[in-house]
Amino acid sequence: MRGVVMHAPGDVRVEDRGDPEIIHPTDAIIKMSATCICGSDLWPYRGADDVHDAPMGHEYVGIVEEVGSDVRNVRRGQFVVGSFVASDNTCEICRAGYQSRCVHAELMGHIGTQAQYARIPLADGTLVATPETPPAEMIPSLLAASDVLGTGWFAAVAAEAGPGKTVAVVGDGAVGLLGVLAARQLGAERVIAMSRHPDRQALAREFGATDIVEERGDEGVARIRDLTNGLGAHSVVEAVGTQQSMMQAISCTRPGGHVGFVGLSHDVALPGDELFSSMVHLHGGLAPVRRFLPELIRLIWDGEINPGKVFDLNLPLQDAAEGYKAMDERRAVKVLLTV
């Protein structure tokens, strides 16, 4: 089969990779319908993470091609969405809703779903089938559920977005924009998107943002305070992962408020005294997307949300290298690869 391999920073190629096979009886093989490029794939692309000849990709939707002998919950021919972390969904950590830290967790990024087929470990605990085979126009939204929607949703839940709350969102990438959508769906009264890009501002408004703040850093914090009687937001979603964005998120939050952080942390060190005096709740990390998948699929299936709008460039798998380049140069928010 054909699949994406990153040989070195900036060197992405689509080439022949061996066809995946069932290794464990709990595995499934799926034939990819669509996959995509993640903002986190840009870290190795830009040389911030080590990379050598690595299969790429961790987001996926597709048709079950084959299942191992122990698989009970999905069957050949079903259309499935899965989390970017495989999980058994039965251990104590999974049952508490933290499937991304399942005691048997496997990162799909190590398998590489930017490909025609993929082996999905722990299929019963990882995959969720849609009611029927979805129409083509629904596929981008279902694909979004695999990571960026689930991650934005987790951030909003971790930030305790809900009725009566003012939620600020730091970061206007796909995850931040879907954090806006999630906050609104969870009932937030006011959702403030922090963005200085007109096209992303427009999508944020479409997803439910009530206010836009263009300022960053201390000025951004001051604007959020202006908008909240000087107190700060109840809830803040952090979807960048830098020192500046984390401190901006914490400083935008009122005492007793909640920060949900999902930006993959790079060179961040939180000063203990500032955290102590801020009195915020801090929660985040690798989103347990599997917790939210059934609900997210239902919302998409019923047409209540359309998160697939974050994909603003659609390419065939064969052109993946161009997709990486477009995201690296910020010409695209998120690239969908049709298989």
Binding site for a copy of itself (CB under 8 A): 92-93, 96-98, 100-101, 103, 229-231, 241, 243, 246, 254-256, 261, 264-273, 275-286
92 or 132: whose CB is closer to a copy of itself?
Answer: 92
- In whole angstroms, the minimum distance from the beta carbon of 194 to a copy of itself comes to 19
Q: What is the 3-state secondary structure (H, E, C) of 72-86?
A: CCCCCCCEEEECCEE
In sequence order, the 6+-apart residues with CB closer than 8 A to the CB of 96 are: none
CB 239 to a copy of itself: min, Å: 13
Length of the chain: 339
Residue with token string 């990024």: 109
CB of 154 vs a copy of itself, minimal distance in Å? 10
Residue nearer to a copy of itself on the CB measure, 132 or 273: 273
Contact, 299 vs 305, CB < 8 A? yes
Alpha-carbon span 183 to 193, nearest angstrom: 11
Least distance to a copy of itself from the beta carbon of 33, Å?
A: 30
Q: What is the C-alpha to C-alpha distance for residues 100 and 264, in angstroms, rounded to an integer?
A: 14
Residue 339 beta carbon to a copy of itself: minimum distance, rounded to whole angstroms: 31
Kindly report the backbone phi and psi dihedral angles of residue 23, in degrees, each rounded to the nearest multiple of 5, phi listed first: -105, -45
- Taking the least distance from each CB to a copy of itself, the nearer of 27 and 88 is 88
- CB-nearer residue toward a copy of itself: 272 or 303: 272
What contacts 260, CB < 8 A, 6 or more positions away?
Answer: 154, 155, 156, 157, 158, 159, 160, 161, 179, 235, 236, 237, 238, 283, 284
**In angstroms, rounded to a whole number, what is the distance separating the alpha carbons of residues 280 and 72?**
43
CB of 264 to a copy of itself, least distance (A): 7
Give the strand pairing for 85-86 and 106-107: antiparallel
**Closer to a copy of itself by Cβ: residue 208 or 285:** 285
Nearer to a copy of itself, 58 or 119 (CB): 58
Minimum CB distance to a copy of itself smaller for 113 or for 278: 278
- Cα-Cα-Cα-Cα dihedral sign, residues 165, 171, 175, 177: positive
Min dist CB 253 to a copy of itself, Å, is: 11
- CB closer to a copy of itself, 254 vs 334: 254
Whose Cβ is closer to a copy of itself: residue 78's or residue 235's?
Answer: 235
Task: Give me the least distance between CB of 128 and a copy of itself, in Å please.
Answer: 20
CA distance 244 to 329: 21
Minimum gap (Å) between residue 179 Cβ and a copy of itself: 16
Which bin fits 53, alpha (ψ -120 to 50), beta or left (φ > 0)? left
Which string of DSSP letters, residue by residue, matches 204-265? HHHTT-SEEE---HHHHHHHHHHTTTTS-EEEEEE-S-SHHHHHHHHHHEEEEEEEEE-S--
